[in-house]
Structure 1
Amino acid sequence: MSNAMRQGHPVGLIPVVTIDDYRYAPQLVRALAESGATSIEITLRTPAGFRAIEAAIEEGMLSVGVGTVTTVEDLRRSVDAGVEFVVSPGFRADIADAARELGVLAIPGVATATEVMMAAASQVKLVKFFPAAAAGGVPALRSLAEVFPDTKFMPTGGISADDVRAYLAIDSVVAVGASWLAPRAMIAESRFAEIGAAYARSTASVADLLS
């Protein structure tokens, strides 16, 4: 288990990746781990999603989570594969309840105060603010964080390297979903050294906010 998951949740910059060929997963995991990453979120946006997750877990170097979980079936299959956390684009009480029963961390997506309250009612303490940029960005999240001091946030969606510091400066933000670090095209082109270097640079630029 990674240092991040020993704290009970992912922390820092979390590469959010979409993989078209599961055979790329081990190389991607190695490149990120060697650059200091502790976690990765692999989405279910392609037919290769589950096989990529299994390959990443087998590599054994990162805490592996699954993204784009929209059904309880997706959740159960992900848990069977061995993921440490599951991320959804929105909130569903049945997914939150099933995750709690299965003993896996579920991070549902929220964009409004109502959704944060619904998640809290299901005992969810960490939510994904999504889609972060389209939902109002840093000002919107700062407002939600002030109203819900007991909720932790992982903003994801439309975030760039230029505004990640502003998100991490919010006290209740524990992680940022960083899809810009490993774009789908770069993975497909096997540009793993560049991806690792980008992760190292981005993490160094916000190191003072992660300590």
Structure 2
Amino acid sequence: MNPQEQLFRMPAEPLHRLFFAWLPAQDERRRLAALAQELRARMPAVRWVDPRRHHMTLLYLGESPGPRESWIRMAREAGRRLRADAFALAPDRIAAFGNPRQPALALTCAQVPPAAAALGAALREAAARAGFTGLAGPPLHPHVTLGYARGPATVDEAVAAVPLEVRGFHLLHGIAGAPDYQCLGEWRLS
């Protein structure tokens, strides 16, 4: 690129993502990492997620080229107002999710626990009341992404169940390419 072209080229701002998520406790994080390590030997064409980034997205709120303070305020309002029950789940399947060219490999449940579905619906409703629009989408299907296939993959197999306790949720802010999420809020479930 010549110097004149550089004058008019705007640097691409990294995408900022905002979402509600469950974060595993340390013992749960160790169990998730152990499962990923076990799968690594059988699935070499996978880019594995750093265990510090393991989470379960409960509601994706959106992305923008920079942080959106109004979204953060609305999300915190939704988190403060939400009332839902804590629950346990025992995901027991590895399945391919999302982009068929490079799907996420996720630990998921064959059946969605009713309390998980209720939490997903309550979060969507609380976010809409706080001012978010365009949140229509499929109901919550709890999963923890362990890795990303480096090409098309069809995976749906049983694994030993990993017991998880969902006792609260977090508001997370992530920047594309950054190694960690920033926690902007945390709330307990009853």
TM-score (norm 2): 0.23
Q: Which of structures 1 and 2 has the larger relative contact order (alpha carbons within 8 angstroms, sep 6+)?
A: 2
Greater share of strand: 2
| Structure (1 or 2) with the greater helix fraction | 1
- State TM-score, norm by structure 1: 0.22
